[in-house]
Chains A and B, each alone.
Chain A
Amino acid sequence: MTVTTDLLLEATGVSKIYGAVVALKSASLAVRPGEVHALVGANGAGKSTLVKILTGVVHPDAGRIVVRGKERTVHSPAEARRGGLISVYQEPSLIPDLDIRANLRLTETPREPFRHWLGELGLADLDLSSLARRLPLATLRIIDLARALAIEPDVLMLDEMTAALPANLTERVLEVLGSLRGGDRSVIFISHRLIEIAAVCDRATVLREGETVGVVDVTAGSEEKIVELMLGQNVEALSARTADQAVTGSRARATTPRVSARSLSSGTRLQDASFDLYPGEVLGVVALEGQGQDELFDILAGSERPRSGELLVDGKPANFHHPADAIRAGLVFVAADRAEALLMQRSIRENIALPFSTRLRRWGLIDLGEEREKVDGAVATLQIDARAGGEVRRLSGGNQQKVTIARWVAGGVRTMLCFDPTRGIDIRTKTQIYRLLRDMAEAGAAILLYTSELKEVQLVCDRAIVIFGGRVVGEISAAEGDEPTLLRAAYNLRSEAAVPEGVAAMLASTSAGADASTPTGPGRSEVRQ
């Protein structure tokens, strides 16, 4: 077979098997010079594995990779790098204990281009002498991206680049990617957000269960096609509940709140947050990165104690010294970062059994029969693929997240605090999680859901509160909470104007301002005392 020279990168028949799990069956990918090429697929479809193979982190069992007409076997990331293939992973690859300058020296990144790209990405005034561990995740990811761009790779691979980014930075990233189109180099863009793909990508390769099932030219209306290919079946409506949600909402208000926060503050970020969470509702939390939502969830989950303010559970004051106290009061926490929640080398059974087995008052042996029953029940409820159940680290991201939820479902949920539970998860798993949250709310549980994906508010929540500058600045009902409204509210804008370009700079000045506490927002209803 002759190699077609108009392709920058071509991979054919790539496969990879881990023990019992087939990560890639037969994947192919063809990238033209100058295009932004989307790689999409449900979690576990093999996107990450394919990228790892292209960058030499993982060795394929079969398949060939051709770069600029020459067949390549990539043995290591360093070799891939020299060959012009660079990947920016979901986890920032900066050494936490070195400052940014030292990190750049470490990877021999040219300083000037790095500065240039950093500016393009909206972080022009970043202090290069700050330690990596002191910077927020979003900033680290931007630095990672600028560092990769500075080397001018032939093929830049971005794995869920926008997943942890606030909306303003996402916009900048997409702009930069758009500006790369039509040149000599290419970008492989992995994302679950179809809107972003529609915005910057030329073509999309769709993977399903380790196989390439189609290549789609991205045009208006191609999103449906992509989703269809990803799911391999007709797209189910994500939500069939908009009609009855008003009923749920009013029913919720009839009882005492499950959780009431009164002027909670903590650290420098959370200033004065008050809200009520009622049984039977899913309450959304909308906020830009770093508005105090992390601290709020830490307080509610018992990991941190508030500096001031009061927390009421079922109308009675609660004082949590340890997560065990919160769990006993029925407040359970689902984190976005699965590495923080799971015992990676232990089994699914142990991970699910962990909280409820250790919560038992008695010291005797764990009743294995009862435990297995509960674990099996939770595995079934969440439809966890337990084939690789011996060690949780062998599961796909979506299945891992389901395990973190299952551990609470197994013990019965009264109040669940979900912090961006669907970050970096495929549509099918997301839909399952949405449905589960709804079902739990219908059954009387109270659910607090922080989400970085604004459209989730309308899909799952009854209403949403908006946090800005450490304060709850607004409340929006699900019916009114379309993405533009929520975004404007998250930026604490009063007018109907669209989010302005230089909003990042403006944010920096207003977040310290005093008038942030003034409740605003079009759909805000009264705060109940």
Chain B
Amino acid sequence: MTAASLAARRRALDAVAPWARRNAWTLGLVGFLCLLLVYTKLIQASYDSSGIQGLAIGVLPLALAAVAQAVVVMSGGIDLSIGSMMAFTSVVAATMMKGQSQEFGVAVVLLVLVLGIVLGAVNGALVVLTKVPDIVVTLAMSFVWAGCALLVRAAPGGAASEWLRNLVLGSFINEWIPKSAIVLVVIVAVIWVPVARSKMGLSLYAIGSNKLAAFRSGIPVGRTKLFAYALTGLYSALAGLSLTASTGIGTPVPGPYTLMSVAAVVLGGVSLAGGRGGLFGPIVAVVVLQMIRTDMTFLSIDSNYAYVAQGLILVGVVMVGSFALMRRSRA
């Protein structure tokens, strides 16, 4: 290889490579999702805009749970109480809204969001103050929040305000644009984007990446961690509200959301070691996981097999991904 061609190659790589390399994982995931959509259309010719709408509604709670998990994982923690917080906030919302006016419903939503922040802040405060590992604290708190949910309402029930239901059901402008997708984008944009652009976002990534370096750079590590957990609580409350909105009731038993959110975060390219990743990846990962389930249904595969398949795909994809990473860092 001549020096000139080497230099030219280097210049070309300089322009595109850094961006592509940083986003390779998410790009691959989006590509995989496109393949899945094509495949779905092939095996089920009737899959159209209503299918997309169903997909979006089904995805919304899990997507918000994944966002909640991603925030805390990026800061170097993990929250195993997301599912319980969702159940708690969901039953509180459904119980308070039942038989009340639309305006009162708005107040309930605000109250539930504050409740989410408080729940998350309690998790965070315990982690920071006791110095017990995140995984232990949040696992323990998941039982507490789940118990609280059952205290509020022992069986599924309650109701959602009409406007809240209309917020996520149906489509907007065009039948191909589901309302719940817009809601998701708005929620992420309104809360996360300003945070990521502020000093809090930088601090959050910093404590996830290298706690000692962050400390020595003058960053209040404990306070930042508390903030991350509170933000996770807020997103969990939003996920709980979306459950109430899409089902019309509140369910006190936590769904599979906690572990699914961890799965989506891993699949979405967020490093469990902290400090790396974004929110777009996990959201795409959630859609991919949901699409796989849908396809299994179309192929009339036993739903129990669907779980097995989902798990295998998760392990497989993550293995391939980390293998590629290893190759790259060693190569």
Residue in B198, B206, B216, B276 whose beta carbon sits within 8 Å of that of A363 in the complex: B198
Interface residues of A in 336-366 (CB under 8 A from B): 339-346, 350, 353-355, 357-360, 363-366
Interface residues of B in 164-204 (CB under 8 A from A): 194, 197-200, 202-203
Residue A20 CB within 8 A of the other chain: yes
Contacts of A327 in B (CB 8 A): 217-218
Main secondary structure of the interface of B (DSSP, over half): helix
Residue B10 CB within 8 A of the other chain: yes
Contacts of B215 in A (CB 8 A): 303, 322-323
Residue B301 CB within 8 A of the other chain: no
Q: With A343-B210, A358-B202, A365-B194 as given contacts, are A333 and B14 in contact (CB-CB < 8 Å)?
A: no
Q: Are B18 and A390 in contact (CB under 8 A)?
A: yes
Interface residues of B in 34-52 (CB under 8 A from A): none
Residue B131 CB within 8 A of the other chain: no
Residue B213 CB within 8 A of the other chain: yes
Residue in A303, A346, A364 whose beta carbon sits within 8 Å of that of B275 in the complex: A346
Q: Are B219 and A19 in contact (CB under 8 A)?
A: no
Residue B4 CB within 8 A of the other chain: no
Residue in B10, B200, B206, B330 whose beta carbon sits within 8 Å of that of A354 in the complex: B206
Question: How many angstroms between the C-alpha atoms of A19 and B9 in the bound complex?
Answer: 10
Interface range for B:
20 to 34
User: Which of A59, A354, A407 counts the most B-chain CB atoms under 10 A from its CB?
Assistant: A354
Interchain nearest-CB distance for A374 vs B (Å): 14
Q: Mark B318-331, 1 if CB is under 8 A from A, else 0.
A: 00000000000011
Contacts of A364 in B (CB 8 A): 198
Which of chain A's residues has its CB closest to B210's CB?
A: A343
Which of chain B's residues has its CB closest to A334's CB?
A: B216
Question: How many angstroms between the C-alpha atoms of A34 and B210 in the bound complex?
Answer: 44
Question: How many angstroms between the C-alpha atoms of A31 and B21 in the bound complex?
Answer: 38
Residue B111 CB within 8 A of the other chain: no
Which of chain A's residues has its CB closest to B195's CB?
A: A365
Contacts of A389 in B (CB 8 A): 18
Q: Mark A52-84, 1 if CB is under 8 A from B, else 0.
A: 000001110000000000000000000000000
The interface on chain A, measured as residues whose beta carbon lies within 8 A of the other chain's beta carbons, has a size of: 43
Q: Are A345 and B218 in contact (CB under 8 A)?
A: no
Residue B140 CB within 8 A of the other chain: no
Contacts of A391 in B (CB 8 A): 22
Q: Are B210 and A342 in contact (CB under 8 A)?
A: yes
Question: How many angstroms between the C-alpha atoms of A327 and B214 in the bound complex?
Answer: 13
Which of chain A's residues has its CB closest to B12's CB?
A: A20
Question: How many angstroms between the C-alpha atoms of A57 and B329 in the bound complex?
Answer: 11
Contacts of B271 in A (CB 8 A): 345
Residue in A57, A322, A341, A387 whose beta carbon sits within 8 Å of that of B213 in the complex: A341
Residue B27 CB within 8 A of the other chain: no
Contacts of A301 in B (CB 8 A): 216
Q: Are B210 and A323 in contact (CB under 8 A)?
A: no
Residue in A58, A59, A328, A343 whose beta carbon sits within 8 Å of that of B205 in the complex: A343
Question: How many angstroms between the C-alpha atoms of A345 and B206 in the bound complex?
Answer: 10
Interchain nearest-CB distance for B194 vs A (Å): 7
Residue A324 CB within 8 A of the other chain: yes
Residue A94 CB within 8 A of the other chain: no
Residue B107 CB within 8 A of the other chain: no
Q: With A19-B21, A366-B202, A390-B22 as given contacts, are A343 and B197 in contact (CB-CB < 8 Å)?
A: no
Q: Are B205 and A366 in contact (CB under 8 A)?
A: no
Q: Are B17 and A20 in contact (CB under 8 A)?
A: yes
Residue A507 CB within 8 A of the other chain: no
Interface residues of A in 373-407 (CB under 8 A from B): 387, 389-391, 407
Residue B212 CB within 8 A of the other chain: yes
Residue A493 CB within 8 A of the other chain: no
Residue A22 CB within 8 A of the other chain: yes
Residue B13 CB within 8 A of the other chain: yes
Question: How many angstroms between the C-alpha atoms of A18 and B203 in the bound complex?
Answer: 29
Residue B290 CB within 8 A of the other chain: no
Q: Are B330 and A343 in contact (CB under 8 A)?
A: no
Which of chain B's residues has its CB closest to A57's CB?
A: B330
A and B contact pairs by CB, cutoff 8 A, 27 listed: A19-B13, A19-B17, A20-B10, A22-B10, A58-B330, A322-B215, A326-B218, A327-B218, A328-B218, A339-B210, A342-B210, A343-B206, A344-B210, A346-B275, A354-B202, A354-B213, A355-B217, A357-B199, A358-B203, A358-B217, A358-B219, A363-B199, A365-B197, A365-B198, A368-B197, A389-B18, A390-B21
The 9 residue pairs across chains A and B that have the minimum distance between CB atoms: A324-B218, A343-B209, A327-B218, A390-B18, A355-B217, A358-B199, A20-B13, A365-B197, A323-B218
Further pairs besides A323-B218, A341-B213: 8, Cβ < 8 Å: A18-B331, A328-B218, A333-B216, A335-B216, A345-B271, A346-B275, A350-B202, A365-B198
